Structure 1
Amino acid sequence: MTDESSTGRPPACPSCGRPAAVPASAHYTSEGTVSYARCECGRWLIVLAGQVIGADAA
């Protein structure tokens, strides 16, 4: 299950623009659910409350 932003679409990878993949792991925090997902382009994405907040260096 991928978190979705207020637009109803899954967050997109900042490199390739594809929707974030199914999370490899997800954890509940006081700021919302944080999840880690690998995009089809190979980058790891950090998603917090439906927003991509970070990605590994490509």
Structure 2
Amino acid sequence: MRAFLTGLLRLRRGPWENLATVLIGLGVVMLMQPFALWAFTWSFVVTLIGTVMFIVTSHFPE
């Protein structure tokens, strides 16, 4: 966990790509669930943020 947080603070690719992947997955789950309207409403925004974050962080150093 400490290595993950250190990687985030030092703007390393691995931890930021992992975080972006989790956001994309969370957005998809929010999109497909039938219970909470607020989650469905925000699902596109969360997925979009995760996708843009993944594109940007793919240019970070290893």
TM over 0.5: no
Larger proportion of helix? 2
Larger proportion of strand? 1
Q: Give the shorter-chain TM-score range.
A: under 0.3
Q: Which structure carries more relative contact order (alpha carbon 8 Å, separation 6+)?
A: 2
What is the TM-score normalised by the length of structure 1? 0.23
What is the TM-score normalised by the length of structure 2? 0.22
Greater Rg by CA: 2
